Structure 1
Amino acid sequence: MAKPVTEIYITAMLALLFLLLSLSHLGLSLSQDGLFLQRVKLGLSDPNGVLSDWNDRDATPCNWTGITCDPATGSVSSVDLSNAGLAGPFPSFLCRLSSLSSLSLKNNNLNSSLPLSISNCKNLTTLNLSQNFFEGSIPYTISDLPKLRFLILDGNSFSGQIPVSFGLFRRLETLNIANNLLSGTIPAAIGNITSLKSLELAYNLFTPGQLAPELGNLSSLDYMWLSSCSLVGSIPDSFGRLSRLTNLDLSNNMLTGSIPSVIFELKSVVQIELFNNSFSGELSAGWSNLTSLRRFDACCNSFVGPIPNELCELPLESLNLYQNQLVGLLPESIAKSPNLYELKVFKNQLNGSLPSELGKHSNLLTIDVSENQFSGEIPASLCENGLLEQLLLIYNSFSGTIPDVLGKCRSLNRVRLRSNRFSGEVPAEFWGLPHVYLLELAENSFYGNISYMISGASNLSKLDISNNRFSGTIPKEIGSLGNLFEFSGNDNEFSGQIPATIVNLSQLATLRLRNNELSGEIPMGIQSLRQLNELSLANNTLSGEIPDQIGSLPVLNYLDLSWNHFSGEIPLALQNLKLNVLNLSYNQLSGEIPALYAKDIYRDSFLGNPGLCGDISGLCTEKTGVKNQGYLWILRSIFILAGLVFVVGIVWFVWKFWSYRKTKKGISIVKWRSFHKLGFSECEILDCLNELNIIGSGASGKVYKVELSNGKDEFEVEVETLGKIRHKNIVRLWCCCNTGDCKLLVYEYMPNGSLGDLLHSSKGGSLDWPARFRIALDAAGGLSYLHHDCVPPIVHRDVKSNNILLDAELGARISDFGVAKIVKTVNKGAESMSAIAGSCGYIAPEYAYTLRVNEKSDIYSFGVVILELVTGRRPIDPDFGEKDLVTWACNNLEQKGIDHVIDPNLDSTFKEQICRVLDIAFLCVSSLPINRPSMREVVKMLQEAGAYNKPRRANKNDNLSPGCYEDSSDSLIKEV
């Protein structure tokens, strides 16, 4: 029997109601903590899908990624989303988790400011927000967290002062806010946190100030890291009360005076780092109290006097006292330190012999005593334990021979014995040490042959044995060194032929064999040396013809074959080279000089070759008269043809000019907007907008050069800019016109074009270092104005060498604001862009990955520009493979040394300043934005580097300046 319709309807309604109640029950099955976490998920960008399992299918979030629950209550006790790639603001809903005790969001892309409501996380014991993009002030309310023990905020962009309220912490053990943009001074109130064990405030922008004596109240402190905190004055006596301190780092500050005696009261201290300050005076007595001291770094100060013997009697692992004014002997007791692995005392005035048992009782890895007055022989015990890696003894007065036992020290990777008084033969096995990448024996009195065992030195990159008395033939085995980048063997007594195997050295960039007794011909196949940029074979007895193949070497810029017996004609292929130095003088060459070099400026390049002819005064003058008749006929023909072309051009120009004027009558000058008082009319500009005045084109249209009635040149850049900018290092926009279908911008004309075009063209060699330095400083000033003096600030977003224009005096000005971005609020985080703007090779890593932009993106790009100025290389180059200029420069600096980074066209007498500017570049291109300086800091650092612009007087054969940070004094660059 069929049911009534009403009954069926009621049944259906009950079923639907039951289903809704069931669904509602399922939605409510997730715990309250889980619901809060889902709100957190909604507020974050999760490109890697780390939070994909945060769903409502579980009754509890305890199995979700990054979540830990209390086993007793089931409530969330810990959230750890480190390294998850999350972006967005701080997720405040986390503070609604009532049992949350540990929160770690380190190494993400979180931005904006940290809210005052952070104080609602009442049960937190650990808060780790390091390595993000947080900005603004650190909330003073954090000190309201009564249970907090670990506060870790390093590697962000927090600004403002450290809250004085931090002195209210009662349980805090770790305070780490290093690597931020904090200002002010370190508050004395921190001395009230007597529970503190680790204080890390390094690398902030503090105002110069003294160490607060109240910090001596931190009786539980174990670790103090205050490097680069703008500290001045002396170390307070109260620091003697830090009885539990094991690590004291006050490096890179402006502290003065002598090391106070209170340091000797730190009986638990293991490591003391005081380098790069202005301490002075003697290293006084008292070191015997520091019975736990393992590492002592006090380099780059002004200490005088001898090294205390009792310091060297301590169980030291590392002793760094370089770049001071220390005198006297290196105490014998240092050889007794059983834990010693590092000894660096270079750039002092120490003398005498090295301790005879140095290395015998310890696992010595590095010894650098360069640039002192040491004498005597190398101790045979240096590598007794088989671990020695670096042996640096340059610029001393060491004598004797290299001990045979060092030929068995297979751990060695860096050997520098330059400029001493060594003599004798080099042990055969020493030539073939398998891990050595730098072997420098130059400027000594070594003699004998290069051993065939050199084939075992498979890692060798630089071999400098110049200015010795080596003799015999260069062994063919040298051609097996696939990593060899430089071979300098000049000023020796080598004889025989250049080995044919040398053409196998595909990485070879420098070959110097001048002033020897080499004979025979240049080996065939030299065109395979594609990286060769310097070939110096002068003053030998080489003969035969100059190989045509030299002209196919793509990067060769230094060619010296003078004072040999080369004959035949000069290969025309040499005209393919872009040479800064060419010297073929005093050979037996004959025939015509190639047209490119047949100029008076190359006269000295061809002297002493009586058979050469060319239009150079003093060369083959008796033959030039015979040819004059033919030359005159050719010149007449050229002038007639040029006249015809000129007449036709005038007629064409007049026709095109009037045609173009007719098409421009529709432009309404009422649309013009001027930004400066003008000395010309709009009509003058419109009249000149014709095809004949085009000097370039860009993404937004054509670029015209306009000659105006007031005699000044005006010139259009590629795209729109901002009309209110006023700065001497920013290209001036005179006026603009916008009629809808036609847009015109009128800029001042820059006669020398762009830095990129000039630097990377054949004229790049004309840019000497003083000019490049001024360009860097000018461009930095322009960017600093945009970032710090414009209200609101402006981010350029396309800083590159092609957007830096040069006036008649090579003054630099920033141009091209087509993709510039105005930063709307001061404390706002990096803004997200819809697409990447900028040029390949200049784009900051975080910009490419996250599309978020701020001033730090410009600073990275400017660092690339500095690298261009220093290296002379483009940001992207086929020679780099898949790398860019930043990676190439870092790798070459680490593996091959500073000389393989700096543009060889630059005068080495400016090397110290170049190195300092290179330091600044590496700071700017740091992979972490927080580690990059502001543009205002960059300007200041460049100005300070300008104080080192006095060139050093170079020696006759001096290719390296010992003042640069290479090798013994390279710690500054390597730390960067």
Structure 2
Amino acid sequence: MSSTRASDHYLHYSFGLFCLILSLVCSTVQSEELQILTKLKSALQKSNTRVFNSWESSVSVCKFAGITCNSEGSVTEIELSNQNLAGTLPLDAICQLRSLEKLSLGFNLLHGPVTKDLNNCVKLQYLDLGNNVFTGGVPDISSLTELRYLHLNGSGFSGTFPWKSLQNMKGLIRLSLGDNPLSPSPLPSEVVQLTKLDWLYLSNCNIQGAFPAGIGNLRELINLELADNNMTGEIPEEIGNLVNLWQLELYNNSFTGKLPVALRNLAKLENFDASMNYLEGGLSELRFSTNLVSLQLFENKLTGQVPPEFGEFKKLVNLSLYTNGLTGPLPQKLGSFAKFNFIDVSENLLTGPIPPDMCKQGAMKMLLMLDNKFTGEIPANYANCPTLTRFRVSKNSLSGTVPTGIWGLPKVNIIDIASNNFRGPVTSDIKNAKSLWQLFLGNNSLSGEIPADISGATSLQSIQLNNNQFSGELPSSLGSLSSTLKVLDLSHNQLSGEIPKTFTSLRLTQLDLSYNKLTGPVPESLSKGSFTGNPGLCSVGKGSVLPPCPHK
């Protein structure tokens, strides 16, 4: 045999042997991984899910639902989020999958502890155990140096989080630990050293103290959520370094001081919520935030005027500034560009007219402007706002007649115009307000008869028309609201005639007809109501403060 032929023979033999060994290795790996996944299925056997139907030993693990393999046939991903899985997690087995890069088990019913075996999943790049019902703490995960995405939010984790583990995760892009009852901790320096983070969710997890000095390092952040914690101090100027921020949520903490000047640098900011803090000063630093979609700063100590620039914001749809000390008028173009749907500026010192075009794009749902010093009339445009569910402008100095269409808005739940200077009637189109629960009109100068068509508003639970100038008789049609109506206050008006017999079918928790010009008998079933100031009323029962009715 020539040396060349011998060499070729040897090469063929070697290649064949290599393929055989490789085949045996692959077969062994597949066999091991099948055993591991079978153990996972067994641990979660009580789950109400069909996802494991394909997990049979006769099927390649790479064809199991929720499993992804690499080109060598090794499992690289387990994606079983939102599958109604229940049971404890066998991490001792799962972390024997040597090529596992993604473990996604969020939005399930997994319980019990997350064991230290997690630290053996050294190739993980994506870990999501969020929104489960685990107990105990998060173990040390300092070996997971390849992690890019870490989601552990809302899973019942308690105790001290292993913040130092984050030192080894220099490539971390998303960190979500919020909504866990962790032990109190300041925002750790390890977090602000993760300069590749674009998403940081640490709301409602017992973060306390001030912002760390390095917060400005996180220049890639598009979302920063630190709400529902115990943070204190001022919002630092360094926040202005986070020029990519799309959302900033700081509500329900104890922040003090003024809004930082550097907020004007956040040109991409669309959602800003720093409500329920102790912030002072004005809103002027936000006049440059032209991309704002939602601004919520309610329950602070803010003063000064609402910047006129807000009226030019083309994307703004949600403005909530209630319970502050804001003064001056609202921009008259407010809400006229985007599909504006919510405003609550109640409990301030705002003056001037109601902006007329907040329903211009036909999307307005809630107009809440209670307890200010607004003047002028209700703009007629709101009578043509079919999406409106709550219209509340009580405790102002508004005047004029209420635009007719307001009464009959098809989706409105609450009409609250109490304690103003309105005059004129309630019109019969109120019969179209099929969704109306509460009608608060007290303390105005409204007049005319209460329309019989009010009974067409078949969802009414509370009717409060007290302290007005309504006249005429009580509409007997109100008796048809027996299944819904609980409160009826018509006191301090000029109503006359007898109490309709249909009222006996009402099941009221509060009835006040006092100080009118009513006459005749009070039905015994209504005797617990208030009827003072109606000299013409009499009682048919015993124990009433009213004089007895004469016997016929």
For the aligned pair, the TM-score class normalised by the smaller chain equals 0.7 to 0.9
Q: Could you tell me which residue of structure 2 aligns to residue 159 of structure 1?
A: 158
Q: Could you tell me which residue of structure 2 aligns to residue 89 of structure 1?
A: 88
Aligned partner (choices 585, 589, 605) of residue 548 of structure 2: 589
In the TM superposition, what are the counterparts of 1:714-863 in structure 2 within 5 Å?
none
Residue 560 (str. 1) matches residue 530 (str. 2): yes
Q: Could you tell me which residue of structure 2 aligns to residue 512 of structure 1?
A: 489
Matched length: 520
* Cα deviation 1:408-459 (Å, max 9, x = unaligned): 1222211111111111111111111111111100001111110111112111
Contact between 2:107 and 2:131, CA under 8 Å: does it hold in 1?
A: yes
CA distance in 1, matches of 2:209, 2:539: 71
Contact between 1:31 and 1:60, CA under 8 Å: does it hold in 2?
A: no
Residue 570 (str. 1) matches residue 540 (str. 2): yes
CA distance in 1, matches of 2:99, 2:350: 65
CA distance in 1, matches of 2:164, 2:231: 27
1:346 corresponds to which letter in structure 2? Answer: Y
CA distance in 2, matches of 1:381, 1:149: 46
Q: Could you tell me which residue of structure 2 aligns to residue 521 of structure 1?
A: 498
Contact between 1:197 and 1:221, CA under 8 Å: does it hold in 2?
A: yes
Closer, same or farther in 2 for the Cα pair 1:98/1:249, shift >3 Å? closer
CA distance in 2, matches of 1:283, 1:111: 42
SS of structure 2 residue aligned to 1:503: helix
Contact between 1:460 and 1:484, CA under 8 Å: does it hold in 2?
A: yes
Q: Could you tell me which residue of structure 1 aligns to residue 263 of structure 2?
A: 287
Closer, same or farther in 2 for the Cα pair 1:126/1:211, shift >3 Å? closer
Closer, same or farther in 2 for the Cα pair 1:149/1:364, shift >3 Å? same
Contact between 1:222 and 1:246, CA under 8 Å: does it hold in 2?
A: yes
SS of structure 1 residue aligned to 2:518: strand
Q: Where does the alignment leave 5 or more consecutive residues of structure 1 unmatched? A: 1-27, 170-192, 552-557, 575-583, 592-610, 612-976
Aligned partner (choices 174, 187, 192) of residue 211 of structure 1: 187
Q: CA deviation at 1:49?
A: 6.0
Residue 137 (str. 1) matches residue 137 (str. 2): yes
CA distance in 2, matches of 1:214, 1:55: 44
* Cα deviation 1:585-622 (Å, max 9, x = unaligned): 3x44258xxxxxxxxxxxxxxxxxxx9xxxxxxxxxxx
Q: Could you tell me which residue of structure 2 aligns to residue 60 of structure 1?
A: 60
Closer, same or farther in 2 for the Cα pair 1:125/1:217, shift >3 Å? closer
CA distance in 2, matches of 1:445, 1:458: 26
Q: Could you tell me which residue of structure 1 aligns to residue 294 of structure 2?
A: 318
SS of structure 2 residue aligned to 1:139: coil
CA distance in 1, matches of 2:533, 2:400: 30
Contact between 1:245 and 1:269, CA under 8 Å: does it hold in 2?
A: yes
Q: CA deviation at 1:78?
A: 3.2
SS of structure 2 residue aligned to 1:144: coil
Q: TM-score, normalised by structure 1?
A: 0.50
Closer, same or farther in 2 for the Cα pair 1:515/1:568, shift >3 Å? closer
Aligned partner (choices 397, 401, 407) of residue 377 of structure 2: 401
Closer, same or farther in 2 for the Cα pair 1:511/1:433, shift >3 Å? same
CA distance in 1, matches of 2:93, 2:217: 43
Q: CA deviation at 1:208?
A: 4.4
In the TM superposition, what are the counterparts of 1:143-542 in structure 2 within 5 Å?
143-164=142-163, 166-169=165-168, 193-308=169-284, 311=287, 314-505=290-481, 506-530=483-507, 532-542=508-518
CA distance in 1, matches of 2:509, 2:547: 25
SS of structure 2 residue aligned to 1:251: coil
Q: CA deviation at 1:69?
A: 4.0
CA distance in 2, matches of 1:59, 1:567: 86
* Cα deviation 1:561-604 (Å, max 9, x = unaligned): 222245554337x9xxxxxxxxx53x44258xxxxxxxxxxxxx
SS of structure 1 residue aligned to 2:136: strand
Greater C-alpha Rg: 1
Q: TM-score, normalised by structure 2?
A: 0.86
Contact between 1:544 and 1:565, CA under 8 Å: does it hold in 2?
A: no
2:498 corresponds to which letter in structure 1? Answer: E
In the TM superposition, what are the counterparts of 1:568-717 in structure 2 within 5 Å?
569-571=539-541, 584-585=544-545, 587-590=546-549
CA distance in 1, matches of 2:65, 2:324: 56
CA distance in 2, matches of 1:370, 1:435: 22
Contact between 1:275 and 1:300, CA under 8 Å: does it hold in 2?
A: yes
Closer, same or farther in 2 for the Cα pair 1:214/1:331, shift >3 Å? same
CA distance in 2, matches of 1:228, 1:40: 31
1:454 corresponds to which letter in structure 2? Answer: I
Q: CA deviation at 1:508?
A: 0.8
Residue 38 (str. 1) matches residue 38 (str. 2): yes
Identity of aligned residues (%): 37
Q: Where does the alignment leave 5 or more consecutive residues of structure 2 unmatched? A: 1-27
Q: CA deviation at 1:209?
A: 4.3
Closer, same or farther in 2 for the Cα pair 1:267/1:236, shift >3 Å? same
* Cα deviation 1:452-476 (Å, max 9, x = unaligned): 1111211111100001111111001
CA distance in 1, matches of 2:355, 2:479: 39
SS of structure 1 residue aligned to 2:367: strand
* Cα deviation 1:532-568 (Å, max 9, x = unaligned): 21111111122222224548xxxxxx62122224555
Closer, same or farther in 2 for the Cα pair 1:507/1:209, shift >3 Å? same
SS of structure 2 residue aligned to 1:136: coil
Q: Could you tell me which residue of structure 1 aligns to residue 7 of structure 2?
A: none
Closer, same or farther in 2 for the Cα pair 1:395/1:543, shift >3 Å? same
SS of structure 2 residue aligned to 1:40: helix
When the two chains are superposed, the root-mean-square deviation of aligned CA atoms in Å is 2.7
CA distance in 2, matches of 1:111, 1:87: 7
Runs of at least 4 residues of structure 1 off by over 6 A?
none
Q: Could you tell me which residue of structure 2 aligns to residue 112 of structure 1?
A: 112
1:510 corresponds to which letter in structure 2? Answer: V
SS of structure 1 residue aligned to 2:280: strand
Q: CA deviation at 1:138?
A: 2.3
SS of structure 2 residue aligned to 1:107: coil
Closer, same or farther in 2 for the Cα pair 1:125/1:387, shift >3 Å? same
